[in-house]
Amino acid sequence: MVKFEQIKGFVFDLDGVIANTSAYHAQAWHQLADELDVTWTEDLGNQLKGVGRMDSLNLILKYGGKENDYTEDEKIKYAAEKNDNYLKLLESLDKSVILPGMGEFIKDIADHHYLISLASSSKNSPRVLEKLDLAKYFNERVDPVTLKHGKPDPEIYTRGAEILNLKPEECVGLEDAVAGVKAINGSGETSVGIGDPKILHEADINFNDTSEVTLENIKKAMDQMSDSIATD
């Protein structure tokens, strides 16, 4: 079991972890689902969390029983349309969408000289971080264009550690989606799941919401995990 003292870096998802931009993504996908005559549900929205653009489109089409109705070129066109919708929604983005406590947490770990990288499947993540005035705290960002596999494959989190020149076991990964937690676990990093612990039960550490995510609480949770293993 990794001890907190071994941690040197933090690898973040963006949507639903740092900021509530997931609502913007959901709204843009909802608009496209309506156009494709696929009924939008909360369950469908949850399935799309943390998933890349083309994979999300394929999930929507499968959900509506339309996975064989469109050519690859048509799918690319629809994915681009969704992105256009999302970018229009982003125009109104400001610091108010930063989730409770996350701005302070990111600044705190930077002040304590931890390395920080972003492992978001969103190609628009640099623009979002700049609008939120958080880009200055991130040492590196995984470019999703370079990835061969989407979450839950661990590639994006493995890369998130590599670009910091750290081993996965030296990093903590933070996620709000099941696919993301699986990706962190597969990479060998310590996983923090933010949200309903019943849904994110595979995470090493669970917090109900972002306001609970502090350096002190992560240390406390990792210490308890180490103590628990030591007494087994």
pTM of full prediction above 0.85: no
> Known binder of ligand: residue 8?
no
Same domain membership, residue 141 and residue 71 = no
Average pLDDT for the chain:
94
> Known binder of ligand: residue 82?
yes
> Known binder of ligand: residue 15?
yes
- Give residue-wise pLDDT tens across range 5-38: 999 999 999 988 999 887 888 999 999 999 999 9
Distance CA 195, CA 82 (A): 26
Same domain membership, residue 65 and residue 119 = no
Domain containing residue 71: 22-90
The pLDDT, as a whole number, for residue 230 is 63
Distance CA 29, CA 47 (A): 12
What is the average per-residue pLDDT within 73-78? 96
> Known binder of ligand: residue 56?
yes
Write out the catalytic residue numbers.
13, 15
> Known binder of ligand: residue 96?
no
Domains of the chain: total: 2
- Give residue-wise pLDDT tens across range 119-134: 998 888 999 999 999 9
Same domain membership, residue 184 and residue 161 = yes
Same domain membership, residue 118 and residue 178 = yes
- Helix (H) or strand (E) holding 110, with range, is helix 102-111
Same domain membership, residue 212 and residue 140 = yes
- Give residue-wise pLDDT tens across range 171-194: 999 999 999 999 999 999 999 999
What is the average per-residue pLDDT within 129-150? 95
Pairing mode, strands 171-175 and 140-141 = unpaired
Q: What is the CATH number of the domain that holds 112?
A: 3.40.50.1000
- Indicate the burial class of 74 (C-beta count within 10 angstroms; 0-12, 13-18, 19 or more): exposed
Same domain membership, residue 105 and residue 139 = yes
